[in-house]
Structure 1
Amino acid sequence: MAVTGQMNIAVWLKSLGLEQYVPVFDDNAIDAEILPRLTAEDLKEIGVGALGHRKRILEAIAAMEGQPEVVSARPDSASPMSASVERFGEPGRPREAERRQLTVMFVDLVGSTALARRLDPEEMRDLLRQFQNTTAGEVLRFEGHVAKLMGDGALAYFGWPQAHEDEAERAVRAALAVVSAVNGLSVKGGQQLSVRVGIATGVVVVGDLIGIGSAQENAVVGETPNLAARLQAIAEPGTVVISELTYRLIGNLFDVTSIRPQMLAGFDTPVSAFKVIGEGRAESRFEALHAGESAPLAGREHDVALLLDRWRLAASGEGQVVELFGEAGIGKSRILQELRQHLKDEAHTRLRYYCSPY
């Protein structure tokens, strides 16, 4: 385990979005030496009650295996990029190239050339630093990987080196957050800043190390990064443009409008593109991602019958509570959808609450 005793556990937990467990780790004397030996049972024993939180901690520990030394950082001075290094390791560390489906995001600061002419070099440097820290911070908040910061531009990956089941959604949420955050940055003279963002999803080969010294980076080979860059170029200031595959993956989670197919440099045929307007209005993630495609429910008759039985008891005045739990993708939401279908003609009040991983 490439973690030194000086690693700041508080910073590490904060980078995972789990800062509420800092006192728990402190009370149980869990330091960098103990961290790699933690098990799911250990985490449950010390008070990490949520299964998702335990999995996130264990996955983060596993991701650090074989990575170079993580240096300590003060919570008040740790930059988004240092947080990225803590989570994913030094960029110069050789890794084996992998074939993956990746969502790539390009961000460009609009009007940077004109700003450079108008502002003092030191003022421009500070502005670019604000832009980069803001962009990197939002990417990391949605657990993406800041691949490269290029002055007035940024490149981010969602799906490597850490993978989630909802990378396209994470990328779009991060992009909207970047647009909003950069819009709020201050610039001398009161000029409002804006960015263009392009997002594309596709199969790539990622992980080959190219370049020398400080210019080293993990290359992504495939059509996807080129497409993301081209989509960024056609985006209007303050907007996010996504590829067709990204659009299909996000379902109805966002309000999206179609853009006329575009002839893009390097592509032989017109490319479909979509502009993201904002959050969608679907009542649930399940409905947003599976609109119009629910197959007949099979093999869950007993579960539905049990829920209907408990409903009848509740309707007769005997209060009931049923907990339905299971691994992601096992069909919990589909069972509830079936229950609602059975109860559609019966008077009832439905309350819905959702927990967000962000």
Structure 2
Amino acid sequence: MNDVTSWLAEIGLPHLADKFVDAQIDFDTLALLSDQDLRELGVPMGPRRKLLAAIAALGSSARQPGGDRTPVERRQLTILVGDIVGSTEYASRLDPEDFSQLTQTFLSRCSGLARSHGGFVANYVGDALQVLFGFPAAEENDAERAIHLALDIVATVPQIETPDGSRLGVRIGVASGLVVVGDIEGAPAGISTVAFGYVPNLAHRLQAIAVPNGIYVDENTYQTTAGAFEYADVGGKTLKGFSGPIHICRALKPIARQYRFAGELQSTPLVGRKSELQAVGTLWDAVRADGNGRIALISGEPGIGKSRLLYEVGRSFPGSKALVAECAPAFTNSALFPFLRLLKQEVGITEDTPLPSERLRAALSASTVPLSISYPIFTRLLAVEPDYEPSRLAASEQEAAISQVFSDWLRQLASAGPLMFFVEDEQWIDPSSGKLLQTLAYGVAQFPVLLLVTSRESRTRAEFDKAVTVHLALERFSREEAGEFVHMSSGGHLSSGVVSTLLSKAEGVPLYLEELARSALMLAAHSSDPSETKAESDVAVPISLQSALMSRLDKLGAVKAVAQTAAVIGREFDLKTLAHVVGLSPSGSSHRSLSATGPVTPSLTACYRRPPRGHCSGTGGGSFMPCRQGDRGSPTEDGRGASRDPRPALP
């Protein structure tokens, strides 16, 4: 069965086929659908529940015993464990069938939420569930997605009806770290994917001691997500099976941030980027002078400082209004996600907002689109009045109305004074937001708006490159700039040997420098002699970078194994050695795929550098050094020159 239309007919919902076709939903997309997505499609409550249950069943039936198994591997994971509060008491006072139904409802709701956040439901143990983030593929914000899921579960579970009318509660534990995970032969029935190591045990222990409707996290998870969520310090606790006290924090709620990493950005020094700031300042002066909009595309690899540049731009003009729309990898299939979240923030619509419909009506009334048309569309998109009658307009007409509303909204804000509009991580923009951004970009010249768009790609995903006024491609720090950055970040408390190690490992990437410096400072704080040689060799990849680096590897697909083998060979390698180890031809396509996707880049020096001791060489071989940003170019004449992208994890 490969037709969603046929599947909808089989579950008794054939009338929804047109909606799914218009939204371009295929079987790969089904597992990503959430209750909110179905609301946005205009699906009523009854069919929504039926769809979510059918999608959950479809996901569980897709992994049959004896099918393709996921290989066992070491991975950085964030693991969430959730359990019903007082499940033993429920089991003792409820009829077994009632308790079974209650447990199934709990697990079904939580599993649906987990899938909507991109989590992998590994198994159920009684009335507890375990969700993995970072498997089978990692994302840069695995830990953040786990905490968002935990908060959604805590908000949803009390709404589940119980047979005796009591209020259902949940306890959640979240832990992050290195595990061995995969499909294990001989695993218990119904449980094929197992994670081994201390992390799943720690998540279970944290869950067991959590207060009702509490979310307890370990230190690793806290360190990774502290800038995105508000926490309460629980303190050190002795947990069964762990030799020393475990420091625990309780997640409370997300932090409202105008800029990504706002807290971290304030505490790190600004090095370089003067010419880029000056270029943006020139554009801003032009916007204020003639009232015509301008667009700047700011591109660069992960961790290069795109968000920091936006933050500094906003801070350089404190009296100016700035809007920030953030795209996110977890919401690439959520229609209009960055724009709807921005609208809610600016209008002031939250879960606790009294009369949110009145705020929405006030915001929409500024548009030339009549409220009778715009309100039914936006009340569904923002879930302000879930039971409000949906719009009867065709999808194309609704799309046009949405574009006009946002255009009018920006124009109104700009009428009070020149406006800055930042769009972060455009490489992750969802299709609907891409169309809207394209419309806004080509119309921005009509009013005083400076549109700044950041992306990891050199061309816009929303295809408005012809409207871009200036393209700023950020490069890595020079060694002098990197040394200044480390000195300022560490306060000069690191030895010259450690600093040299950091500069070699990070190779000019500001984020790598920052995190490695922080890791080195922590290591030095626990050492009796911070300058000892051991500190130089012990600086490893911080937890905060592990998911980002693994995400880049996972996106390589089948070529990932080649990149991992290259990492084992060393920071310097030649294609002949690599091809011999993995059993591929040196002239094959694997190294070209690696070069195209980032981990391996051509080295212009490869043809004349002497190979290090222990490396194989041969006719036309050569050794291969990690490339600087400015060294990227064509491979050597025989096509064998390549080097891996700098990666702090590699020796």
TM score, norm. by length of structure 2: 0.43
The 1:112/1:247 distance shift into structure 2, 3 A limit, reads same
What secondary structure is seen at the aligned counterpart in 2 of 1:188?
A: coil
Answering whether residue 346 of structure 2 is matched by residue 343 of structure 1, we say no
Higher RCO, Cα 8 Å, sep 6+: 1
Number of aligned residue pairs: 300
The structure 2 residue matched to 1:83, chosen from 32, 35, 59, is: 59
Question: Which deviations, in whole Å up to 9, do the C-alpha atoms of 1:267-306 show, x marking residues without a partner?
Answer: 1111100001112233333315x254434243x4443222
- Runs of 5+ consecutive residues of structure 2 not aligned to the other structure: 9-17, 33-49, 332-651
The 1:275/1:213 distance shift into structure 2, 3 A limit, reads closer
Range moving further from structure 2, 276-285 or 179-188: 276-285
Give 1:312's aligned residue: 285
Give 1:178's aligned residue: 153
Residue type at the aligned position of 2:317:
L
Range moving further from structure 2, 238-247 or 278-287: 278-287
Give 1:279's aligned residue: 254
Retained in 1: the 8 A contact 2:81–2:173? yes
What secondary structure is seen at the aligned counterpart in 2 of 1:316?
A: helix
Give 2:325's aligned residue: 353
What secondary structure is seen at the aligned counterpart in 2 of 1:96?
A: coil
Distance (whole Å) between structure 2 residues aligned to residue 323 and residue 192 of structure 1 = 52
The 1:334/1:264 distance shift into structure 2, 3 A limit, reads same
Distance (whole Å) between structure 1 residues aligned to residue 179 and residue 239 of structure 2 = 19
Alignment of 1:36-185 (within 5 A): 75=51, 78-83=54-59, 89-90=63-64, 93-185=68-160
The offset of 1:215, in angstroms, is: 4.1
The 1:202/1:85 distance shift into structure 2, 3 A limit, reads farther
* Higher helix residue share: 2
TM score, norm. by length of structure 1: 0.75
- Runs of 5+ consecutive residues of structure 1 not aligned to the other structure: 12-18, 36-52, 57-73
The 1:260/1:296 distance shift into structure 2, 3 A limit, reads same
What secondary structure is seen at the aligned counterpart in 2 of 1:154?
A: strand
The 1:269/1:282 distance shift into structure 2, 3 A limit, reads same
The 1:242/1:192 distance shift into structure 2, 3 A limit, reads same
The share of aligned pairs that are identical, in percent, is: 31
What secondary structure is seen at the aligned counterpart in 1 of 2:69?
A: coil
Answering whether residue 37 of structure 2 is matched by residue 23 of structure 1, we say no
Bigger Rg over Cα? 2
Retained in 2: the 8 A contact 1:210–1:219? no
Alignment of 1:246-257 (within 5 A): 246-257=221-232
Residue type at the aligned position of 2:192:
E
What secondary structure is seen at the aligned counterpart in 1 of 2:217?
A: strand
The 1:99/1:81 distance shift into structure 2, 3 A limit, reads farther
Distance (whole Å) between structure 1 residues aligned to residue 82 and residue 57 of structure 2 = 16
The offset of 1:157, in angstroms, is: 0.4
The 1:218/1:10 distance shift into structure 2, 3 A limit, reads same
Distance (whole Å) between structure 2 residues aligned to residue 232 and residue 76 of structure 1 = 26
Answering whether residue 2 of structure 2 is matched by residue 5 of structure 1, we say yes
